[in-house]
Amino acid sequence: MNQNTITEQLTEAGRRIEHDSFAIVDNEVGTHDYGDEEWQVVRRMIHATADFEFNGLTQFHSNAVKDGIQAILNGAPIVADVEMICVGLSKPRLNHFGVNTHHFIADDDVITQAKAENTTRAVQAMRKAQRKSLLNGAIVAIGNAPTALLEVVRMIKEEGLKPSLVVGMPVGFVSAAESKEILSEIKDIPWIVIEGRKGGSTLVVAAIHALLAVAEQAQ
């Protein structure tokens, strides 16, 4: 296996701390039901939150990791529901693969359209991304807004949208668990979801950073 450099911490001290943290997670979890590359995703999510429940709550479409890695290697865009995901992702790591991030949640036209149609900004942000031809082949990263995820699922079912991967991890109490359950029923589009109410942008960032690391191993 190739030695990662781009997707590692920049200092020896930082790398040692991160690797020691991963070793602690591995030791405390012991056996699990994930494949090796899936575990790299779950382990980094646990590392980011110190929440071991993600061992079990995190579910993968059978092609999720493979297609997510290929999308990264192809330089596919990442379209997020909120700015926090774009800010949290490492720019040097993204730049290494030629990956750009996009979010439209705060755009004036998105806000205006959401008010006019009595929908959420997140719904209109996904529709804007689709109008800009960004979603097909993209990694769609949703950590905050269940309505964004439901809109993406609608476009998959009704408009034939084909993202490379949907990382569906919205957090909350209204439609969060339901939106992820609906996504997990889709057979022909890869996804990674967290069952139930838990989620958030931090977890999406952790999952994508793990995919970037696996992608570097594959180079």
Please indicate whether residue 61 is annotated as part of the active site. no
d(C-alpha 41, C-alpha 190), whole Å:
15
Question: In the prediction, which pLDDT does 118 show?
Answer: 98
d(C-alpha 28, C-alpha 55), whole Å:
11
In a domain, 151, yes or no: yes
Question: In the prediction, which pLDDT does 1 show?
Answer: 45
In a domain, 6, yes or no: no
CB–CB of 196/177 below 8 Å? yes
CA separation (Å) from 151 to 35, 73, 108?
30, 27, 20
Q: In terms of DSSP bridges, do strands 139-142 and 101-102 run parallel, antiparallel, or are they unpaired?
A: unpaired
In a domain, 54, yes or no: yes
In a domain, 5, yes or no: no
In a domain, 19, yes or no: yes
CA angle 136, 44, 130 (to 5 degrees): 15
In a domain, 131, yes or no: yes
In a domain, 188, yes or no: yes
In a domain, 4, yes or no: no
Question: What CATH number should be reported for the domain holding residue 187?
Answer: 3.40.50.10230
Set 47, 61, 103, 209: catalytic member: 47
* Domain count along the chain: 1
Domain extent for 181: 12-218
Q: Spell out the per-residue pLDDT of the chain, length 219, in tens.
A: 456 888 888 888 888 998 999 999 999 999 999 999 999 999 999 999 999 999 999 999 999 999 999 999 999 999 999 999 999 999 999 999 999 999 999 999 999 999 999 999 999 999 999 999 999 999 999 999 999 999 999 999 999 999 999 999 999 999 999 999 999 999 999 999 999 999 999 999 999 999 999 999 988
